[in-house]
Amino acid sequence: MHTISKHYINGEWLASDAVSSVHSIINPATEEVVGELHFGGKADVDRAVQAARAAFPAFASSSLQSRVDILKAIVAEYEKRFDDLAKAVSTEMGAPLERIAKGAQVPIGMGHFQTAIALADSIEWETRRGSAIVTREAAGVCALITPWNWPLNQIACKVAPALLSGCTMVLKPSEFAALSGQIFAEIMDAAGVPAGVFNVVWGSGPDIGPHMASHPEVDVVSLTGSTAAGASVSRSAADSIKRVSLELGGKSPNIILEDAPLEEAVTKGVLHLLNNSGQSCNAPSRMLVPESRLAEAEAIAVAAMGSVKVGDPLAPDTTTGPLANGRQFERVQALIERAESEGARKLVGGTGRPEGLDKGYFVKPTLFSVPDNKATIARQEVFGPVLTMIPYRDEAHAVEMANDTEYGLSAYVYGGSIESARKVGRQIRAGQVHLNGAGPDLQAPFGGFKQSGLGREWGPAGVEEFTELRAMLGAE
């Protein structure tokens, strides 16, 4: 049993000042309790923010090289704990150990620190604009609130640029990703991050998130989560006029163009969706295919879904694990049931666990085909291994449906040439557009249009989120 009962505040491991409630840490593959997390309260947030505020002047004025040295020390400690982190992610959220935890979840977290190190000398920390000297300064004390689906990615893509910029911070990791969050805090401690610069408080989002966002000593709030959580944080932050950065939900379209190699494009789209059991805000969950080739595309997608191995995350051949928690399992089951009740044509999958699995939060890879973009399953974010296929008449119709969503985080376009894909990609209202199967790039800005969020993470844009511009006129 893992027990996490202390916060990390001002370089020390401290018990809560509050009467602590206990959250059970459940292995989603077995539904067994594997640990407990002791929640803190508003007083713990106050202690952490005070520590961050006290540490800010010295850290903000520290040299860029000293901050890069800290980032390098973090990478070194992170590498030492690589296997521990992979085991934690697999245990707490059911990520297949070899393919997902070791192959993606843990490496991408380290990648953000390596990217920040590489960017240090290329950021324009000081420039001339007319008669002014313009400098990028640390934005202040940051409240960081992160989710459970890509826990290390979403912690690291905030912490690394914040440290590089000279900010201090209070992190609230998801209670559903406490094991990896605890190890991350241990890494920061072992790397010698100065006391008060990095702090961790445990608690439930609805309880302490608003307090973090509204705290008068917090300058920046950065949240990754649902659109509802983003709206709540924005309301809490409004009275104190602080900067808010939000990376929220998505219902990403995947347009397969008429000239695309259909089997390759559809297969890659299906497998991309199923990565991380569909629990990615940028998952390509709406596949738009030419009306004349719908039947062919459906058959290819069914075959691709049948090729994955759903099961024990510790088995080396497992490609798809369970959903991360029981709450999400029930939500996905309800959405599948609703799609069936609304008349969506189910081609494979459905409610219930896959055959041979009688426990764990496993969901059958499921494919629906619907005639248009109006069905609930085509509009609501599912956050599970569920794909909706929709036919389009022509290119203009495909673009229209792709943009017919309240979200705008990511989009995917597959064409017979990069030129045809780029032409359509330029018409999509989304923060990222992946052309012809392109994967992630940690240098490229990540974030969304519309209700998918505000601001950008990753690369230089992610660093800029944690800075303020100061113009000094007449300085020379």
| Structural domain spans, the chain | 2-248+451-473, 253-442
Residues 145, 170 contacting (CB under 8 angstroms): no
The pLDDT value recorded for residue 223 is: 97
Residues 307, 320 contacting (CB under 8 angstroms): no
263-273 tens-digit pLDDT: 999 999 999 99
Asked if the model's pLDDT at residue 327 lies above 80, the reply is yes
391-410 tens-digit pLDDT: 999 999 999 999 999 999 99
Specify which residues 6 forms β-bridges with.
15
pLDDT confidence band for 252 (50 / 70 / 90):
very high
- Give the span between the Cα atoms of 443 and 457, in whole angstroms: 9
Residues 6+ apart with CB under 8 A from 461: 445, 447
340 labelled catalytic = no
Asked if the model's pLDDT at residue 349 lies above 80, the reply is yes
Catalytic hit among 247, 381, 464, 465? 247
Q: What angle do the packed helices 64-80 and 82-93 form, to 10 degrees? A: 70
pLDDT confidence band for 17 (50 / 70 / 90):
confident
Asked if the model's pLDDT at residue 150 lies above 70, the reply is yes
Rounded average pLDDT over 182-203: 98
- Scan for tokens 């059991």, then name that residue: 277
Task: Tell me whether residue 78 is exposed, middle or buried, using C-beta atoms within 10 angstroms of its C-beta: 0 to 12, 13 to 18, 19 or more.
Answer: buried
Q: Do the two domains 2-248+451-473 and 253-442 of this chain adopt the same fold?
A: no
The pLDDT value recorded for residue 314 is: 97
pTM value?
A: 0.96
* Residue 446, token pair as written in the block: 């990540």
- Give the span between the Cα atoms of 94 and 220, in whole angstroms: 32
- Give the span between the Cα atoms of 290 and 259, in whole angstroms: 10
* Residue 284, token pair as written in the block: 């390509």
**CA dihedral over 449, 455, 459, 464, signed as positive or negative:** positive
Task: Tell me whether residue 476 is exposed, middle or buried, using C-beta atoms within 10 angstroms of its C-beta: 0 to 12, 13 to 18, 19 or more.
Answer: exposed
Residues 44, 9 contacting (CB under 8 angstroms): yes
50-107 tens-digit pLDDT: 999 999 999 999 999 999 999 999 999 999 999 999 999 999 999 999 999 999 999 9
Question: Options 3.40.50.720, 2.40.50.140, 3.40.309.10, 3.40.30.10; which CATH number does 253-442 get?
Answer: 3.40.309.10
CATH class of domain segment(s) 2-248+451-473: alpha beta
- Give the span between the Cα atoms of 401 and 290, in whole angstroms: 13
Residues 265, 256 contacting (CB under 8 angstroms): yes
113-132 tens-digit pLDDT: 999 999 999 999 999 999 99
**Whole-number average pLDDT of the chain:** 97
Q: What's the CA dihedral at 329, 333, 339, 344 to 10 degrees?
A: 100
- Give the span between the Cα atoms of 96 and 319, in whole angstroms: 6
The pLDDT value recorded for residue 102 is: 98
Asked if the model's pLDDT at residue 324 lies above 90, the reply is yes
- Give the span between the Cα atoms of 349 and 305, in whole angstroms: 9
